[in-house]
Amino acid sequence: MVKLFQQDHIFQHNFDIVTSAFWRKYPNLHASHVKEIDTYSRRIDAQGRLIVHRLMRCESQVPVWLQTLGVSSSAYGAETTIVDPNTRQMIVKSRNITGASMMVVEETCKYQQNPDNPEWTSYNQSARIAAFLPFVSKKIENFSYNKMSLKAPLGLDVIEQLCQKFTLNGIDGLFDWMHMSASTESSTSAVTNVAKAATSSL
């Protein structure tokens, strides 16, 4: 059994502002579970697209019944972001590394210039949740789905706030946001090789 999640949104801000806000999304008070972000690869391809690979370390409370199955409160996830300035589209793909033999959560977020209003940005988030343990797979998928349903609107709210700060204060507004809490981004990671292997299939 596979659980599917989806949500759509329209940011009333242009593509440049929304994508600038995206890169300053962490740290934020609504996603305190994200503890570290390591950008370990960044390049421009032959088509002029920016391609970025990042590794995230997250910590969150895990129910006792999941702990008994060996699920840790600390987990790593891999993310690949492709920004195409020509088509005005940014695609963010991510998946879990930790616990992948038990469950895989694959998420795709698409930001693109709204076809009806070039000053707005359309957003689509979709996720595929699949667990592999006999007897409890459905319970694990439902837990993950419900958790994502609660956090997804908070993520949108963070981007909206950042866009508003950018509109009012320019780039300084985004840096002010970062100073609200300690930075979670690191330049090196002991698990970079693990992340590279994980993102090779994204």
CB contact set of 80 (below 8 Å; sequence gap of 6+): 51, 52, 53, 54, 92, 93, 94, 199, 202
pTM flag (> 0.85): no
How many residues comprise the chain? Answer: 202
Half-sphere exposure of 117 (CA within 13 A, CB side): 9
Cβ atoms within 10 A of the Cβ of 147, count?
Answer: 13
User: Hey, what domains does the chain have and what are their CATH numbers?
Assistant: 2-10+32-149+184-199 (3.30.530)
- Give 35-76 pLDDT, tens digit per residue: 889 999 999 999 999 999 999 998 888 888 888 888 878 889
DSSP 93: E
- pLDDT value, residue 32: 77
Q: Percentage of the chain surpassing pLDDT 90?
A: 61
